[in-house]
Amino acid sequence: MKLRSITTIGACLVAAAVCLSGCQSSGGKKADYPTKPINVIVPFSPGGGSDVLTRSMMEYLELPNDQTFVAVNVDGAAGYIGCQQAFNSANDGYTLLAHNPMDVVSYTLGGTTDVSLYTELELICGIADDFNVLVTNKQSGWTTLDEVLEYVKAHPGEVKVGNTGSMNCNMADCIRVLDALGIREDVTIVPYNGGSDNKVANMGNHVQLSVNTGADIQSAVESGDEIPLLVISDRRSQSLPDTPCTKELGYDVVTTKPRGLYAPKGTSQEQIDIISEAVKNVCENEEFQQRILDLGLEVNYVPGDELQTKIDGWVEDIKPVFEEMKKQQ
Any domain includes 249: no
Do residue 120 and residue 156 come from a single domain?
no
Same domain, 318 and 181: no
Question: Which of 175, 199, 232 is a domain's end point?
Answer: 232
| Residues 181 and 45 reside in one and the same domain | no
Burial class from Cβ neighbours inside 10 Å (0-12, 13-18, 19+) for residue 92 reads: middle
Is 291 a member of any domain? yes
117 and 264 in a common domain: yes
Residues 213 and 194 in one domain: yes
Q: Specify the DSSP class assigned to residue 155.
A: S
| Domain-embedded: residue 21 | no
- How far is CA 301 from each of CA 185, 277, 278, rounded to the nearest angstrom? 38, 10, 11
Q: Is 78 found in the same domain as 100?
A: yes
pTM, two decimals, is 0.87
Residue 12 lies in a domain: no
Count the domains in the chain.
2
Report the pLDDT value the prediction gives residue 48, as an integer from 0 to 100: 84
* Residues 197 and 147 both lie in one domain: yes
Low-confidence ranges of the chain (pLDDT < 70): 1-30
Residue burial 64-90, b: 16+ Cβ < 10 Å; e: rest = eeebebebbbbeeebbbebbbbbbebe
Helix H or strand E encompassing 197 = helix 195-203
Q: Do 79 and 147 share a structural domain? A: no
Q: Is residue 205 part of a domain?
A: yes
pLDDT digits (tens, 9 = 90+) for 136-188: 999 999 999 999 999 999 999 999 999 999 999 999 999 999 999 999 999 99
Bridge pairing between strands 187-192 and 159-164: parallel
Q: In this structure, are 151 and 113 located in the same domain?
A: no
Say if residue 100 is in the same domain as residue 145: no
The answer to whether 310 and 303 have CB atoms below 8 angstroms apart is no
DSSP 30: P
Q: Is residue 20 part of a domain?
A: no
Decide the pairing of beta strands 69-73 and 38-42.
parallel
Residues 154, 78, single domain; the answer is: no
Q: What is residue 29's predicted lDDT score, i.e. its pLDDT?
A: 59
Q: Which structural domain, as residue segments, surrounds residue 307?
A: 38-130+257-328
Query: Which secondary structure element, helix H or strand E, spans residue 159, and what is its range?
Result: strand 159-164
pLDDT in tens, 297-328: 999 999 999 999 999 999 999 999 999 999 98
Q: What is the pLDDT of residue 20?
A: 41
Q: Which of 199, 232, 265 is the last residue of a domain?
A: 232
Please report whether residue 27 resides in a domain: no
Structural domain includes residue 237: no
Residues 84 and 155 in one domain: no
Q: 150: domain CATH number?
A: 3.40.190.10
The residue from 188, 216, 232 where one domain ends is: 232
Q: Kindly write down the DSSP assignment for every residue of 304-327, as one continuous string.
A: HHHHHHHHHHHHHHHHHHHHHHHH
CATH number for the domain that contains residue 283: 3.40.190.150
